[in-house]
Structure 1
Amino acid sequence: MSEISKVRSNGTLRLIDGKKYRGYLEADETGAAFYQKGQAEPFVQWNYTRLHRMDNVRLGGTTTQVTVILKDDSRYIFQLDQGLKVYNHMDKHWLDKPVTSRTRGDELHRLAELRGEKIQVPKKHLITRRHPNRSIGGDIGIYLLLILFGVAMVFPLVFLIGSSLKPLDELFRFPPPVWPSHPTMDNFSDLFVTMGQSYVPFSRYLVNTVFITVVGTFGHLVIASMAAFVLAKYEFPGGKAFFAIVTTCLMFSGYVTGIPNYLIMSRLGMIDTYWALILPAFAAPIGLFLMKQFMEGLPTALIEAATIDGANQFRIFWSIVMPNVKPAWLTVIIFSVQGLWNNSAATVIYSEAKKTLVYALQQIQASGIARTGQMAAANVIIVSVPILIFIFSQSRILETMASSGIKD
């Protein structure tokens, strides 16, 4: 490379198949090259005439991610310590780069800066109206309606939490107060005392539930994702018919499939084992439906480019497809955890040492009116896990719901 006007920066190169290489990127007036650490010959090299597109993203400080796309569709992603300096040098000497279209406003803005005029920046309002043609009264009406629905949805949860914190004399007061006057944690402590008196420890019920939930959710996610990838990106005989069957299965609830599941598990000899709950969770249709619909939105060109670069099918699925459908598999985790965590498994598991936490808490709820406070505390524990998972990943779930409608 030319010795005139060289710019160099240490960093890493990441290829489309996920492989990373440590070294430095060097650019001059004619092109650029990336050298691996300890190597004298360039690992990747190009002239500016081969460039198709360049992008840069500041990562903090002087560290910048520079993406280079060549005319032959080769893509290189660099994370450089002095990336902006290298990017500006390459952009300066890239003579035949595409002309960026400028609007009339951009041109007036540029001329005003050249004349030294002060540019008027529009004020940012606290609330931006999405529909300027709608009246203020309409906006107020919509917000009031949303607040009303929000209160109606959150009220049962607030009342449940309040009931779990009420002392015994407030639990039977009429009309019942929404929130206790003297909150107490006695209901939770009494619940754990009651659970501790059982000949099966409370921790055993908890371990059973966590094991069933984790294994069932992981297996469901892996199987649904792999099947969805094939259905979404490959054409094969019977693929559409198979997905139509999966869509039809969404109409049947667990109460409808309970007897067939029991007969199948009985024939397999899995009654009174954890697998009587785990195996049916693997085959739940909701995960396959959501993952397939979301994967259809991925550009096929991304998979074809990875194939050209030598990535095998599993590498494409694991390193390219799965990171890009993270909102979908987070949603699948929510649905699977909710279904398995709240499953009492009373019809397929008979041994007390293998029963789930929900079953044990339901037995306390059925113990009579004297344990009403413990019943409210048990309900809070049951619903807390799915709600917390949803709160921490709600934006991803909403994105999946917006992208997973039935497509023609």
Structure 2
Amino acid sequence: MKRVVITGMGAVTPLGNDVDTFWKNSLAGESGAATITHFDPEKFKVQFAAEVKNFTPEKYLDRNEIKRSDLFTQFAIYASAEAMEDSGLDLTSIDPFDIGVIWGTGQGGMQTFEEEVISYASGDGTPRFSPFFVPKLIANMASGMISMKYGLRGINYTTVSACATANTAFMDAFNYIRWGKAKIIVSGGSEAPITQASVGGFSSMKAMSTRNDDPKAASRPYDVERDGFIMGEGAGALVLEEYEHAKARGAKIYAELIGAAMTADAYHMTAPHPEGIGAAKSMELALEDANITSDQVDYLNPHATSTPLGDLAELNAITKVFKGSPNLDISATKSMTGHLLGAAGAVEAILCIKAIQNSIIPPTINISNLDENIPAGINIVTDSKEKEINIAMSNAFGFGGHNSTVIFRKI
């Protein structure tokens, strides 16, 4: 099968609206959490989130694109535009049917849905909906609008697997390219879930932290006082390209995608399997796909959302797979970004690739008292750590029991 490499990256995150700023603030251990500004949260049990700051879609989107798109699509186009620019692709020299888009989102146009339904419900019952309501709402519109912007006529669709979504998109893109079905695929995930309905819904499930008095310290994976995740928003984009094609055009190559896998827990709607059976199998299958052993992995960016059950279940799975490998370092970067749901795997893949490129592991912040139930032999990085990284793994898991793993290698 053909090899697949990354030749472009783009990001919109609570820590910065481009890859370099995102990376710099991650290494510095910054937190993107603060009181919600998207709506008045005064009556909500959870009043903070990790919002994107100073977002100016006009940099990459024209007026009509902004008018006709939900925020999750604007994030997607923005991050993809940076990735395409970064890749140096000359689209005039490439058959547009050789370039596709596989994009992920967990919720789609939640903001649009909320605004339109509230407007209808507060009226006299006359259905006055925007003609853009459905196009802005549907989850596949991000992939569609990215393709329209650049004239990309290849494979085009959207993956939805809750918070495993972006890794699902990467896996599909990876497979299509190595099977020879495409030469280049723009892939990633975007989410704009900081709305009254999303925050209220997740809060009612008791899935989110309620540390309203100290938002920046609220996301604390592995800490004994962790009490739930922080909602985040944004997007991450990768340009995945067939290796020989990239080499022939003299492309800058960041890393190679060498393995990917998915499994299901088949256990519970929202809770992970306590022993991490599905998560462990996802990692094992990804290692098998990459034709490497667990002791070759230098860095793992875990799902680690800062929930009492989820963090331990994943560490149980990691212990089973890696068997205390002294070479493995782990850092839970959601402690800084919050949880971007369907975009989480995308921005965390970027951090894995930047860690490989720069030989530095970003930290896990906010650990004051390590949970005593954490298995022995787990090396959690709490300060940025210089280390030669040849192989990095990233996990992303989602409600419904979805597990996904991707593996990148230095090239």
Shorter chain as denominator, the TM-score bin is under 0.3
Report which of the two structures shows the higher radius of gyration computed on alpha carbons.
Answer: 1
Name whichever structure is richer in strand by fraction.
2
So what's the TM-score if we normalise by structure 2?
0.21
So what's the TM-score if we normalise by structure 1?
0.21
Name whichever structure is richer in helix by fraction.
1
